[in-house]
Amino acid sequence: MRIRELSRRSGVAIPTIKYYLREGLLDAGQATAANQAEYDEAHLRRLRLIRALVEVGRVSISSARAVIDALGRDDIPPHDLLGIAHNAVAPTRRPDRDSDQWRAARRRAGDYVAERGWRVSPDAIGLDQLADTLAALESLHVTEMLNGLDAYAEAAQSIARVEVANVVARRDPVRMLELVVIGTVLGDALLDALRLLAHEHESAVQLGADRPGRPARPDAQPEIC
């Protein structure tokens, strides 16, 4: 297909495609004339992955290139490929990680994951993020959440099990990576949205509001079931 068709099918504007070509994220098409090239389905899949990385994952061009390069090597097993994609999408290091408090939280994060029997690299970015959150919860004295990590961990694992199974089922490495990137970013957004809604529902149930989103009548009585 020509670049116009590639643009139409991928939803990526032609100038942006040309930019990705210049940056080496997308391989050049097959030249058919002095100023024309032909693209194929592999270009389309690659472009969708780039779009997932750059537009959805808000990954820098250099991080996107690291993922694309890893994809081109055949000595990296799928589990490590997914790790590379994950790390590219994960937020960058925050500045406040040099305190004793943070290092203590980091150790607790490692211990917690070990207790759960999770097979996780000792330098996983997720451990740093978990330590960030634990340190913040401690400084704010939110003991309920610190003591209730299991509820979060179980929910996270139940989702991760389904998500990884979906990734594995795609088989094709490019399409697997695409789902890792999209799944990480949009999965977070999906969960946040549903959690917000579930909060409203649970609040209505547990605080006995008589109608969603409306103030409960002052004389409202708890329902007797």
Q: How many residues belong to the site for its own copies (CB under 8 A)?
A: 94
Closest contact distance (angstroms) between CB of 185 and its own copies is 9
For its own copies, which residue of 3, 66, 136, 174 counts as binding (CB under 8 A)? Answer: 136
Binding residues for its own copies restricted to 178-207, rule: CB under 8 A: 179, 182-184, 186-207
Nearer to its own copies, 38 or 45 (CB): 45
Binding residues for its own copies restricted to 138-167, rule: CB under 8 A: 139-142, 144-145, 148-149, 151-167
- Provide the greatest CA pair distance for the chain: 81
Tokens 């942006």 correspond to: 16
Closest contact distance (angstroms) between CB of 135 and its own copies is 10
Q: Which amino acid is at 75?
A: D
Nearer to its own copies, 14 or 140 (CB): 140
Find out whether 89 and 56 touch, Cβ atoms under 8 Å: no
How many Å apart are CA 214 and CA 140, to the nearest integer? 31
The contact mask relative to its own copies for 43-72 (x = CB under 8 A, - = no) is -----x--xx---x----------------
User: Rounded to the nearest 5 degrees, what angle is found at the Cα of 88, between the Cα atoms of 42 and 69?
Assistant: 40
Nearer to its own copies, 31 or 197 (CB): 197
Binding residues for its own copies restricted to 106-135, rule: CB under 8 A: 113, 118-127, 129-130, 132-133
Tokens 């970015």 correspond to: 125
Cα torsion through 6, 11, 16, 22, rounded to 10 = -40
Binding residues for its own copies restricted to 5-34, rule: CB under 8 A: 11
What distances in angstroms separate CA 7 from CA 68, 136, 185, 187, one per listed residue?
20, 45, 24, 26
- Overall residue count recorded for the chain in this entry: 225
Nearer to its own copies, 25 or 53 (CB): 53
Nearer to its own copies, 68 or 131 (CB): 131
How many Å apart are CA 86 and CA 101, to the nearest integer? 27
How many Å apart are CA 104 and CA 122, to the nearest integer? 15
For its own copies, which residue of 3, 66, 104, 137 counts as binding (CB under 8 A)? Answer: 137
